[in-house]
Amino acid sequence: MIEFAQVCKRYPNGQEALKQVSFELADGEMAFLTGHSGAGKSTLLKLICLMERATSGQVIINGRNFNRISRRKIPTVRRDIGMIFQDHRLLFDRSVFDNVALPLLIAGYPHREIGRRVRAALDKVGLLSKEKHSPIILSGGEQQRVGIARAVVNKPPLLLADEPTGNLDPDLSAEIMHLFEQFNQVGVSLLIASHDLSLIARMHYRTLVMKEGQLVQDQEVANHSEVSVHE
Ligand SMILES: Nc1ncnc2c1ncn2[C@@H]1O[C@H](COP(=O)(O)OP(=O)(O)OP(=O)(O)O)[C@@H](O)[C@H]1O
């Protein structure tokens, strides 16, 4: 699903955010990405959703070489990737329904199909009864769930989350993680960037650790082995 081979990212100001990063995430796998602030987690996710381009190396997502995707094709490619942010980036002057419908409107889905899919997504995150509300009156956890419904509404095979529980208390964070696990159980691949080491430890999933732009540890949970990438 995700393949990084010797990926480097240097921003125009000279900052080297990723240095020779290589890893693979299999179809249907769920993994965490962690590391200190500035380690390169967001940059890595941005390369996967084509918000940024690699300076060198290969980024291959779902069999497609992202180095070769033209600007014109970016919106089409992004439809296969759901993105969840810490600040959820909801439109407060639109209803919950309209926020979740946005990706489908942009993709040109027919009206009736939009209604059906939005309600299915809201049902999955437990917010069907709030479709007419403005997100501004919802709690932080509910707002995050609206963001998740928006990310999954067109059923992408891959979900990326950047600090999805950053503003939430432990119970709400666990709820959001449980939702992610449910998507994973039906075959969705997930890569979740998080600072929350205690939450990650409780979850027992593969964890990629970044430090100063390098992938320094790839901790597989299945066999409890720890692989040090850079000795
Ligand atoms: N658009 C940009 N232009 C220049 N430098 C950038 C840009 N975006 C990020 N950086 C730098 O690249 C490095 C990696 O940043 P990145 O946001 O990927 O880290 P992060 O691990 O996600 O950090 P945090 O946990 O604080 O979000 C940092 O030194 C950051 O200052």
CATH number at residue 60: 3.40.50.300
Which domain covers residue 42, as residue numbers? 1-78+188-231
Per the domain annotation, does 159 fall within a domain? no
Binding site membership of 198 for ligand 1 (Cβ less than 6 Å)? no
Per the domain annotation, does 55 fall within a domain? yes
Query: Is pLDDT at 226 greater than 60 in this prediction?
Result: no
Q: Give the count of domains, the chain.
A: 1
Q: What percent of the chain has pLDDT over 90?
A: 77
Binding site membership of 28 for ligand 1 (Cβ less than 6 Å)? no
Task: Look at ligand 1, atom 2, and give the residue with the nearest C-alpha.
Answer: 11
**Has this prediction a pTM greater than 0.80?**
yes
Binding site membership of 53 for ligand 1 (Cβ less than 6 Å)? no
Q: Is 74 helix (H, G, I), strand (E, B) or coil?
A: helix
- Mean pLDDT, rounded, for 25-43: 96
Per the domain annotation, does 169 fall within a domain? no
Task: Look at ligand 1, atom 16, and give the residue with the nearest C-alpha.
Answer: 40
Atom of ligand 1 minimally distant from the CA of 43: 18
pLDDT, position 162: 94
Maximum C-alpha span of the chain:
55
Handedness of CA 40, 42, 43, 45 (dihedral sign): positive
- The CA 24 to ligand 1 mean position distance, Å, reads 22
Which residues are registered as beta bridge partners of 23? 4
Query: Is pLDDT at 72 greater than 80 in this prediction?
Result: yes
Length, in residues, of the chain: 231
Query: Is pLDDT at 223 greater than 50 in this prediction?
Result: no
Per the domain annotation, does 204 fall within a domain? yes
- The CA 40 to ligand 1 mean position distance, Å, reads 6
